[in-house]
């Protein structure tokens, strides 16, 4: 019977993740729901607790990554800004099965407790300096994310160099995605064996996205893509809105450009953050109060901006529908124009606001198109509530000195604004108007 493919050669030693190793007692998984190959350990002599990491995957390329990580991190110890290795498997120097690191605190956990935005940013200057120094030696981390940044011995440190580039081709496949989802630079999705050449700019992107997540204090992942300084979706709602926030956001945007060559270098990112800290040293940016974060000025500003964006998009859809109708049925007339509440002649029963929605209630607006030569007009109205919109339309004629109602539609079901169903509903309403125009001989 042949040897099973991928089986370990006879005599090759492999440590069990449940066993202790020379000098260290294995205390079990580091976290109850964490990776089983990352263990809590205690030094048999000093009693010091640490983290014991085992080789976890017997696939060839994963083994090579682990061996490289263990050897290289051990070789870098001590390097400022990098989590040191305390001990390593010496039975086979080329194929270590485990290594030990200090028990460190999550950097995000530490910075969640600081009082000012400047205190959040300062450790990232140290990390950027560290990454710039590694870059000068041809080393790129390629896995920058909050889970791999720690606080140890009074300062921030990098850890987990499992997919790092060490200045030479590694086991990465030619079209393999390299890096963490959510923090991964666009060019790294198919970087593969080219990842070394673009690793420096990718580390800038990852560090900036990580800083954004840690500073924003809302969720575990960034929204994705460049962090646009002028778009509300990327705003820092947890912090007081000051001029300093704007400068900080522009640094993050410059560090997350889609094109690698347009991004800040790591050294320049460190410099820009350092300059920002210097400029803002006398003006601490503090958190909004809890009440303000939930229902404060920032909340209502965002809500009204959203309402205005929704209204403008809905108005464009309404005007387009009316103009298309006028082009086909009216002999002459103006483009769709905004009207007022007095343009309504009928009574309309608007549907209730959907349960669970939040927003400004009962906002109504009207647009119409007229055919002066024929004395007719179509009046289209909308009522928005909780981010949804309902429509109704009236066909009117001019008699003597005033407009008179000829026909009105029922109000439509509510639709979430800016979605394609709004345009579909408007097209249906215009078809009803066309039927009425034909029926009345227009």
Distances (CA, A) of 226 to 162, 252, 437: 26, 8, 50
**Strand order across the 87-88 sheet:** 24-29, 38-43, 49-54, 98-102, 87-88
Question: pLDDT digits over 231-271, tens only?
Answer: 888 889 889 888 889 899 999 999 999 999 899 999 999 99
Compute the half-sphere exposure of residue 336: CA atoms within 13 Å on the CB side of its CA: 21
Confidence of residue 189 (pLDDT cuts 50, 70, 90): confident
More confident residue, 438 or 174: 438
The C-alpha atoms of residue 375 and residue 391 are separated, in whole angstroms, by 23
Residue 186 pLDDT:
85
Do residues 104 and 157 lie in contact, with contact meaning Cβ atoms separated by under 8 Å? yes
Residue 191 pLDDT:
61
Reading the block at residue 95, the tokens are 């194929």
Confidence of residue 418 (pLDDT cuts 50, 70, 90): confident
The C-alpha atoms of residue 393 and residue 432 are separated, in whole angstroms, by 9
Reading the block at residue 124, the tokens are 């990232």
Distances (CA, A) of 178 to 93, 270, 413: 27, 24, 47
The C-alpha atoms of residue 142 and residue 71 are separated, in whole angstroms, by 18
Helix H or strand E encompassing 383: strand 376-385
pTM of the entire predicted model: 0.64
More confident residue, 84 or 437: 84
Residue 153 pLDDT:
94
Cis peptide before 164 (omega within 30 of 0): no
Helical segments of 217-334, H only: 243-255, 266-279, 290-295, 297-329
Question: What does 409-435 look like in DSSP terms, one character per residue?
Answer: PPPPPPEETTSHHHHHHHHHHHHHHHH
User: Domains of the chain (ranges plus CATH)?
Assistant: 24-102 (3.30.200.20), 105-287 (1.10.510.10), 299-439 (3.90.1150)
Residue 291 pLDDT:
43
The C-alpha atoms of residue 206 and residue 190 are separated, in whole angstroms, by 16
CA trace torsion 308, 313, 318, 321 (10° rounding): 170
Question: What does 158-171 look like in DSSP terms, one character per residue?
Answer: E---TT-B-SS--S
**Non-local CB neighbours of 322 within 8 Å, separated by 6+ positions:** 336, 367, 368, 369, 378, 380, 430
Residue 303 pLDDT:
58
The C-alpha atoms of residue 91 and residue 99 are separated, in whole angstroms, by 12
Reading the block at residue 42, the tokens are 């205690």
Confidence of residue 360 (pLDDT cuts 50, 70, 90): very low
Q: What radius of gyration, in Å, describes the C-alpha atoms of the chain?
A: 31
Residue 296 pLDDT:
40
Average pLDDT over residues 431-441: 89
Question: pLDDT digits over 49-75, tens only?
Answer: 999 999 877 777 778 888 888 998 999
Q: Is 416 left (phi over 0), alpha (psi -120 to 50) or beta?
A: beta
Confidence of residue 12 (pLDDT cuts 50, 70, 90): very low
3-class SS at 14? Answer: coil
Residue 175 pLDDT:
36
The C-alpha atoms of residue 399 and residue 193 are separated, in whole angstroms, by 78
- Token pair 């006028």: residue: 326
Lowest mean pLDDT across 168-177, 343-352, 419-428: 168-177
Average pLDDT over residues 23-42: 88
Residue 167 pLDDT:
81
């Amino acid at each position: 019977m042949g040897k099973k493919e991928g089986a370990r050669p006879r005599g090759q030693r492999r440590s069990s993740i449940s066993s202790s190793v020379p000098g260290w007692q294995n205390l079990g998984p580091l976290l109850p729901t964490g990776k089983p190959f990352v263990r809590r350990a205690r030094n048999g002599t000093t009693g010091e607790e640490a983290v014991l990491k085992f080789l976890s995957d017997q696939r060839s390329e994963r083994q090579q990554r682990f061996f490289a990580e263990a050897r290289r991190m051990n070789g870098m110890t001590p390097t400022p800004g990098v989590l040191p290795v305390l001990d390593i498997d010496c039975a086979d120097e080329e194929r270590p099965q485990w290594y030990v690191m200090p028990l460190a605190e999550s950097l995000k956990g530490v910075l969640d407790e600081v009082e000012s935005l400047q205190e959040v940013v300062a450790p990232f200057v140290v990390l950027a300096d560290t990454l710039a120094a590694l870059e000068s030696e041809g080393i790129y981390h390629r896995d920058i994310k909050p889970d791999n940044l720690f606080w140890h011995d009074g300062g921030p440190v990098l850890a987990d160099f499992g997919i790092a580039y060490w200045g030479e081709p590694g086991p990465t496949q030619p079209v393999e995605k390299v890096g963490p989802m959510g923090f991964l630079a666009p060019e790294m999705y198919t970087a593969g064996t080219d990842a070394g050449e673009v690793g420096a700019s990718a580390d800038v992107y990852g560090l900036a996205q990580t800083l954004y997540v840690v500073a924003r204090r809302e969720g575990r992942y960034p929204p994705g893509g460049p962090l646009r300084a002028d778009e509300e979706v990327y705003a820092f709602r947890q912090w007081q809105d000051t001029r300093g926030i704007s400068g900080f956001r522009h640094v993050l945007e410059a560090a997350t450009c889609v094109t690698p060559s347009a991004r800040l270098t790591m050294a320049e990112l460190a410099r820009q953050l350092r300059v920002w800290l210097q400029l803002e040293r006398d003006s601490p940016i503090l958190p909004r109060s809890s009440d303000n974060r939930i229902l404060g000025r920032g909340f209502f500003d965002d809500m009204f901006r959203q309402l205005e964006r929704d209204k403008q998009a809905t108005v464009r859809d309404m005007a387009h529908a009316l103009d298309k109708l006028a082009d086909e049925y009216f002999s002459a007339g103006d483009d769709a124009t905004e009207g007022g509440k007095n343009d309504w002649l009928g009574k309309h029963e608007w549907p209730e606001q959907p349960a669970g929605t939040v927003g400004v209630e009962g906002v109504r607006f009207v647009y119409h198109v007229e055919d002066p030569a024929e004395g007719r007009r179509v009046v289209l109205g909308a009522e928005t509530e909780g981010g949804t919109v309902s429509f109704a339309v009236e066909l009117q004629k001019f008699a003597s000195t005033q407009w008179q109602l000829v026909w009105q539609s029922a109000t439509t079901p509510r639709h979430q604004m800016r979605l394609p169903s709004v345009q579909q509903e408007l097209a249906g309403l215009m078809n009803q108007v066309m039927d009425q125009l034909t029926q009345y001989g227009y």
